[in-house]
Chain A
Amino acid sequence: MGQYILRRVLQAIPLLFIISVVIFALMMSAGDPLATMGGRRATRPSDRARLARQLGLDKPLSTQYLYWLIGNDWDRLDLDGDGVAESPGRRLGVLRGDFGTSLVNRGRPALEVIWDRLPNTLLLMVPAEIVIVLGALLVGIYSALRQYSWLDHAMTALSFVGYSMPIFFVALLSMYLFAVLFRRWGLPYLPTVGMFEPTVGKTPLEVMRHMVLPVFSIATISLAGYSRYIRSTMLEVLSQDYIRTARAKGLPQREVVLIHALKNASLPIVTVVGLDLPFLLAGALVTESIFAWPGMGRLFIYHLERTDLPVVMGILLLISLAVVTFQLITDVAYAWLDPRIRYN
């Protein structure tokens, strides 16, 4: 097992390296970060030239990537434009933990910019994940136990509808129902903008009130998809001989389901938790835009629009790292849960 983990970790490194190269190359042709530095006017030519020098944007692609990866404190830069490279660089590079400074929020380390917003996104994603797991379990188990009942058919149809919907449609519908219509009907309604009302302050209650609709939007689609998956797995497990034996032995239904069946159906649950990350992130991206939630998704779009390379690379790398880590954890959990799976 330890060897397997080590091998996977070692495999992940070139993976992340390839990813960083691909994204870097794409970002290079994504636009000119200097173009919007003039504010409402086009950037002045003299400022363009100077900023390109100071921010290292006048170097060729490979050099820029090198500086990004291992820093430039070992090299000298020509900051004053006289052709003589005399100033030492100040960047340490990603391998030493320095993701560079944001081009848009000039001066702020990219990691700090990202870290500011990351907790807000986690605040949406972790509760969403919990809702998905619990919800999918409930719906899936219930449907499996009551197979072919009208409730089962209804839930199947609903889950089809659920994962055929684009997230923003779910968000808009829930916004319309719970915010607009409820307010019109005089019922207590939910807020739709931001993380908290500035006048009230960032209290846990206020944040939770604002969290309801976004979390619901993110969770719905995955919940719909995974409930079907759990349902089919449970059905498969429930038709096994040992379940029939357990029932024949007179064990109560609850014990049969929860202890014997669920234990063997836990693999899908691990799948749900472990491999759902990319979908959750995509959901967070769209939901944050709709609900103006100050999270990492909106940060990504804002900085992408302005070709802020360090921040975009930082976000992508962190996310890819998270995805790879979660995949590894999932694989390990698989092996741990199912002794039949062996890795050699």
Chain B
Amino acid sequence: MDTAAGLTLPRLEELEAPPLSLAQLFWRRFRRHRMALAGAVTLALLTLYSLGGSLFLTEAFANFTQTALRLQAPSASHPFGTDTIGRDILARTIYGGQISLLIGLAAMLVELVIGVGVGALAGYYGKVIDSLLMRITEAWLNIPALFLLLIMAKSFGGRIPDVQLLGRSFSGSVVAIILIIGLTSWMYLARIVRAEFLSLKEQDFVLAARATGTSDLSIILQHILPNSVAPIVVAATLSVGNAILTESYISFLGLGVQPPTATWGNMLEGAHGYIEQAPWLWIFPGTLILLTVLSINFIGDGLRDALDPRSRAI
């Protein structure tokens, strides 16, 4: 329409943007967070490195020891150098990445199941159940995590046999570590979920569902849980990074995944003894851990901004 001054203003229909779906909304807000985008790209590249690299170098090669070639500096035949018993570090970072990422994701799933379960039950039922579950959570929280992890790794570490999956053999300690990390990190998720449930269960839609006779389980799973997805997703994402870090800590101390299975953490074990002669022993796996966890943290930050309806507007 034309104004008196002769300017052309857009029409009202044109002013209104077409309604965006949730996914589009989310994506828009996510991509504004540049670091999160960078993190997502980096993480994708690292995953490609770990998975794709196995197409070029076999696992047998990663575990192949040639003591005569121990502690060699990076060269054409061994781009990342060799370790204390002559294994190629590049191949080990590839396969180590697979294990580290696997442990991160799997531990997150374990945490998710336990944490959401405990938090949902505590938050929904309240009173006695809540009190009991929160006592357990608090007890678990009060033991400093690393100490508890080490004790559990010592107790369960050697007892699980090797697992055969997809034609490859995984050391039993991998399964043990996944379970242990999951069992010691679910508390944070449980608290978040409980807080969400406590606030959501008084909402109208829940009361309505109850009035129509919907079962408790159905209310929890189909009504409340989908509405508390945002903080759960953020916490779960960050916990992947945390799991990878934790695994690297206990593997570094020698109680995590046992060689010859490589993980980024156990490649660093004992590296401080060779700090002068062979810095490549720890620079490569350490940097990879750093990049992975950094990307995950950025993504988590971006997700938090994108999913949280209370943060700044579009």
Contacts and interface: CB of A to CB of B under 8 A. Distances in A.
A171 interface: yes
B142 A15 contact: yes
B248 A29 contact: no
Contacts of B272: 168, 171-172, 175, 192, 290
Interface string A136-168: 000000000000000000000100110111111
Interface of A: 14-15, 18-19, 22-23, 26-27, 29-31, 157, 160-161, 163-169, 171-173, 175-176, 179-180, 192, 277-278, 281-282, 285-286, 289-290, 300-301, 304-305, 307, 312, 315-316, 319-320, 323-324, 327
B290 A282 contact: no
B294 A160 contact: yes
Interface of B: 35, 135-136, 138-139, 142-148, 150-152, 154-156, 241, 245, 248-249, 252-253, 265, 268, 271-272, 275-276, 279, 282, 286, 289-290, 293-294, 296-298
A179 B275 CA distance: 10
B275 A312 contact: no
Given A172-B282, A180-B275, A316 B154 contact: no
Contact of A282 (B151, B155, B249, B293): B249
Given A15-B139, A169-B289, A285-B146, 11 more contacts: A160-B35, A160-B298, A164-B297, A165-B286, A167-B249, A180-B275, A180-B276, A282-B145, A301-B253, A320-B143, A323-B143
Contact of B144 (A163, A167, A282, A304): A282
Contacts of A300: 147, 150
B154 A281 contact: no
B286 A304 contact: no
A323 B147 CA distance: 13
A164 B276 CA distance: 25
B297 A281 contact: no
A277 B150 CA distance: 18
Contact of B271 (A29, A160, A172): A172
A161 B294 CA distance: 6
A261 to B, nearest CB: 22
Nearest to B147: A316
A30 B253 contact: no
Dominant secondary structure of chain B at its interface with chain A? helix
A26 B249 contact: no
9 contacts: A18-B135, A22-B143, A164-B294, A176-B279, A180-B276, A192-B272, A286-B252, A323-B143, A324-B142
Contacts of A281: 144, 146-147
A22 B139 contact: yes
B288 to A, nearest CB: 10
Contacts of A282: 144-147, 249
B155 A29 contact: yes
A315 B147 CA distance: 10
Contacts of B282: 169, 172
A282 B249 CA distance: 9
A307 B290 CA distance: 33
Nearest to B149: A282
Given A166-B245, A282-B144, A23 B275 contact: no
A323 B294 CA distance: 28
B248 A166 contact: yes
Contacts of A168: 248-249, 252, 268, 272, 286
B275 A175 contact: yes
Nearest to A228: B301
A263 B135 CA distance: 33
Contact of A164 (B136, B249, B293): B293
Given A164-B293, A172-B271, A26 B144 contact: no
Contacts of B275: 172, 175-176, 179-180, 192
A283 to B, nearest CB: 9
A286 B249 CA distance: 8
A278 B144 contact: yes
Contacts of A192: 272, 275
A15 B253 contact: no
A301 B294 contact: no
A56 B154 CA distance: 22
Contacts of B146: 281-282, 285-286
Nearest to B138: A15
A278 B145 contact: yes
A160 B249 CA distance: 19
Q: Which of A29, A167, A169, A320 has the most CB of B within 10 A?
A: A169
Contact of A166 (B150, B155, B252): B252
B286 A169 contact: yes
A316 to B, nearest CB: 6
A311 B276 CA distance: 35
Contacts of B276: 180
A130 to B, nearest CB: 20
A285 B252 contact: no
Contact of A319 (B136, B147, B156): B147
A235 to B, nearest CB: 13
